[in-house]
Amino acid sequence: MTSARVVTEEVLVATGGVVRVAAADLAEIRGRGACGPRKRARLCAHRTPVDPLHEMLICLARGTYIRPHRHPGKSESFHLIEGELDVVLFDDCGEVREVVRMGTYASGKTFFYRLGKPWFHMVLVNTPHVLLHETTNGPFDPADTEFAPWAPAEGDPASAGFVARVRSAAA
């Protein structure tokens, strides 16, 4: 990586005219994800939240909880680099609609996914960590993310029971 600016302990933003990422850079993201309180970290290849295209290399450690949410008017795609995860898609009432089981190309599982509909979704990490490349359209505005009203907020102790129920329904 040419260089990166640390925004928070879990968010780095690449700087310079050309973004280069090597194995050592992924190791840093992996370490930040494993050690962080929210069990995640990202390297943003886009420069600012208002960029029209957002590309991120993300590490999610097992046990991270990302509340089901949707992004009306946006799409997102994942390309798995390491590990395995399930993308769980929900209907508006919180029933599991579909599960996309993802792994690396070598795993034989789905290694690329794109969601172009405003469906509620979440991820379940099935290995000690996953590394993925996420692409979505910007600009980023937190108000554009709609959290599922039927799912507990991040940090709510009820989230562990919710994740267990989703894992069971998604099995």
- Domain ranges (residues) in the chain: 3-170
Q: What is the enclosing helix (H) or strand (E) of 88?
A: strand 85-90
Q: Is the pLDDT of residue 170 over 90?
A: no
Q: Is the pLDDT of residue 17 over 90?
A: no
- What CATH fold (topology level) applies to the domain 3-170? Jelly Rolls (2.60.120)
116 dihedral zone (left: phi>0; alpha: psi -120 to 50; beta): alpha
State residue 1's pLDDT score: 59
Residues 6 or more apart from 162 whose CB is under 8 A from it? 151, 152
C-alpha 74/C-alpha 81 separation (Å) is 23
Q: Is the pLDDT of residue 83 over 80?
A: yes
C-alpha 78/C-alpha 96 separation (Å) is 20
Q: What is the average pLDDT score of the chain?
A: 94
**Which tokens hold the place of 85?**
């995860």
What pLDDT band is residue 171 in, cutting at 50, 70 and 90? confident
CA atoms within 13 A on the CB side of 15: 7
Query: How much is the pTM?
Result: 0.92
Share above pLDDT 90 across residues of the chain, in percent, rounded to a whole number = 82
State residue 55's pLDDT score: 96
CA-wise closest residue to 163 among 90, 66, 36: 66
